[in-house]
Structure 1
Amino acid sequence: MSDEDLQPISPAEARDLHLEALQDEAADWTYQSHESHLRAFIEWCEEKGEIENMNDLSGRDIFQFRRWRREGGYSQGRVDEIAPRTLASALTVVRVFIKFCGQIEAVPVDFYERVDLPSLTKDDQVSDSTIQPERVPEILKYLAKYEYASRDHAIWALVWHTGVRLGGLRALDLGDLYVDVDKPRIELVHRPGKDTPLKNQMDGERTNRISNRVAEILQDYIDGPRIENTDDHCRSPLFTTREGRISHSAVRNTFYRWTRPCAIGISCPHGEDPETCEFTDYTKMSGCPSARSPHDVRKARVTRYRNDNVPRAIVSDRLNSSEDVLDLHYDRASDLEKAERRWEFLE
């Protein structure tokens, strides 16, 4: 394709078309990742690169964006330089976006190849953010006593018991839950056209057994505080709000809220007074140094399973993640804990 064949389009318009194309086929986390990283790219095009037409994008522009992003551009001065894995993620999204632009005659079809991806070491690929497995029972004990069968309690109990992803949790309908049977279980179903795709699509569909205790908590939540509501597709979500199906941010806030030590009556390990600490504000909970995400709790679940000598293959099937990914990204055990596992098995 020659430059004469290109069709003019602004970066923002191309971004919108790309996100629209993603909406029906990509998992929610993929869509959100593209939306976030492309927000930075569009800002650079409009404010730094002064690019009004994608036809004008050059290899030099790609290099300058890469340098700007690496040096903390779009981070509002919070960091001097972003982590290698964050840069790699940003550039991967831009590469996919520019490949899409080639398909719509906005750039040459092979232009995406000019977006070089950085090589990452094993350490670069792994996030340090996690929560010690020993912290979770304290949170569950508090919720069972003071917030029994609340939505937060039901979410925590289910995530800790099964290690289900945020997207899988949101995807659950009342009809996917079997609690009044001899073998209680949940069924995870991929419904991409109805706002609840699973990360691994059809391969992510599975049935997971749950304990009688967790089944009882879920049933009491359904019979009690659950808000009777449907989503935009007339489905009955398990976890609801007054607007319908629970949002991604509401699930995250459920974990940010209760991983703050002060929320369960533990003195602040950071020396803050809950009466004056800014992170007691609902809108700032995630800023607490002790606050953790649903993904961090999923990692802790893997670590706990492995410390309890649950075979890797069983953990892999239950959490719908390959054994290699579990080892690299989820199992946050120390070298000593891993040595103890091997010793207990050999002994």
Structure 2
Amino acid sequence: MSDDLEPIGPAEAMELYLDHREPELSAKTLENHRYRLRSFVSFCEEEGIENLNALTGRDLHKYRVWRRNGDGERYSEISKVTLNGNLQTLRKFLEFCASIDGVEQGMRERVLIPELEDEEISKDVMLDEDRAHEILDHLDRFRYASRPHVILSLLWHTGMRLGSLRALDVDDFDFDAKCLDLCHRPESETPLKNKHAAERSIAVGEYHVEMLEAYIENNRHDVVDDYGRRPLITSAQGRLTESPIRRICYKWTLPCEIGECPHDEDPTTCEWRRKDNRPDCPSSRSPHGIRRGSITKHLREGAPRDVVSDRMNVTQDVLERHYDETTSRERMEIRREFVPDV
């Protein structure tokens, strides 16, 4: 242990790190960092590490194994993607700790990060276009302009993020211009992931204009949030939070919700039908899976990459590496429309 270090406990160091990162991170990302570092603090408590000055590379290896096994086997084994995210955050945390003389310089380099394959990075399977149309057709017929109809329709049609959908106000819907205006409003708890760079207007068609009008008129709860704003997606209590939106997506993408189960399960007894287990169904999809499917649909229909990049607020590099599910042959056929064979 270096004589230049100043004693500091894991929990105290975590709070200092989070305070340090708060100005530059979104509230959601900051909460993710807190969640990941809590595991490390719990590990230190179990191992009797009360002062980070004494932290060693062997401790970090033991934590890596402990976390991979689900916090000492208290929970199920976590995926390589989840472990990767935890260790990346731990590296940043240790870099900060070194800057305040809490750990030895270079301690972050002793955190070994597992390499991920492309399919592991893009693990959130996209919603297939045919399934999306089946779900939306069903909602159009039986639940027109309901909250689930609006949520699924907007996520699929615009490809926007969950946080962007939640941030929308009634006043962000421009009926005359047929568009939705996305605004970064961190001061009233509706930040956009990429902050002001994510602000944009998204065009919607006549069908979605009429659906939104019907929803606002008949099914939206007439409420304001804590900041006096009129949220678009609501519950009786105010602006709908992210968790209920996720639950709606998982529920309506269950194949047995509007059709037959492809997994030979009986819907009357299937554990995946239970609210907390819906994400475990191999065929259910998260809001991000819907976004990936929407982006891929736009690309397959020949939309230029720069247009998709602007509309979905994603860089073209990330678009190609993590979202574009088109095959090389499909991309060739799209190019053929712009560069005919000679």
In the superposition, the TM-score normalised over structure 2's length comes to: 0.89
Distance 1:201 1:68 in 2: 35
- Find the partner of 1:325 among 318, 321, 328: 318
1:248/1:13 Cα in 2 relative to 1: closer, same or farther (>3 Å)? farther
- Find out whether 1:139 has 2:138 as its counterpart: no
Moved more, 320-329 or 208-217: 208-217
Q: 1:220 Cα shift?
A: 1.3
Q: 1:244 Cα shift?
A: 2.2
Spell out the pairing of 1:30-45 with structure 2 (5 A cutoff): 30-45=29-44
Q: 1:228 Cα shift?
A: 2.1
Query: Match for 1:35: what amino acid?
Result: R
Distance 1:24 1:151 in 2: 34
Q: 1:286 Cα shift?
A: 1.4
| Ranges in structure 2 where 5+ consecutive residues have no aligned partner | none
Spell out the pairing of 1:159-238 with structure 2 (5 A cutoff): 159-179=155-175, 181=176, 183-238=177-232
Q: 1:165 Cα shift?
A: 0.4
Please identify runs of 4+ aligned residues in structure 1 that moved more than 6 A: none
Query: Match for 1:68: what amino acid?
Result: W
Distance 1:332 1:215 in 2: 29
- Find the partner of 1:261 among 255, 261, 271: 255
Moved more, 26-35 or 185-194: 26-35
Distance 1:192 1:109 in 2: 35
Q: 1:100 Cα shift?
A: 3.5
Which residue matches 2:147?
151
Confirm or deny: 8 A CA contact 2:4 2:101 kept in the other structure.
no
- Describe the SS at the equivalent of 2:129: coil
Moved more, 110-119 or 287-296: 110-119
Which residue matches 1:240?
234
Distance 2:293 2:159 in 1: 9
1:260/1:53 Cα in 2 relative to 1: closer, same or farther (>3 Å)? same
- Describe the SS at the equivalent of 1:275: coil
RMSD: 2.6
Distance 1:142 1:256 in 2: 16
- Describe the SS at the equivalent of 1:314: helix
| Ranges in structure 1 where 5+ consecutive residues have no aligned partner | none
- Find out whether 1:271 has 2:269 as its counterpart: no
**Cα offsets for 1:101-131 (capped at 9, x unmatched):** 3455543565434434445454553325222
Query: Match for 1:165: what amino acid?
Result: R
Query: Match for 1:293: what amino acid?
Result: S
1:50/1:82 Cα in 2 relative to 1: closer, same or farther (>3 Å)? farther
Distance 2:179 2:196 in 1: 19
Moved more, 331-340 or 217-226: 331-340
Distance 1:5 1:77 in 2: 35
1:174/1:2 Cα in 2 relative to 1: closer, same or farther (>3 Å)? farther
Distance 1:28 1:214 in 2: 30
Confirm or deny: 8 A CA contact 1:127 1:329 kept in the other structure.
no
Confirm or deny: 8 A CA contact 1:40 1:74 kept in the other structure.
no
In the superposition, the TM-score normalised over structure 1's length comes to: 0.88
Confirm or deny: 8 A CA contact 2:92 2:108 kept in the other structure.
yes
Which residue matches 1:67?
65
1:74/1:341 Cα in 2 relative to 1: closer, same or farther (>3 Å)? farther
Confirm or deny: 8 A CA contact 2:36 2:89 kept in the other structure.
yes
Q: 1:268 Cα shift?
A: 0.4
Distance 2:233 2:226 in 1: 14
- Describe the SS at the equivalent of 2:291: helix
Query: Match for 1:149: what amino acid?
Result: A
Distance 2:339 2:212 in 1: 39
- Find out whether 1:299 has 2:298 as its counterpart: no
Which residue matches 1:82?
79
Distance 1:290 1:76 in 2: 28
Identical aligned pairs, as a percentage?
41
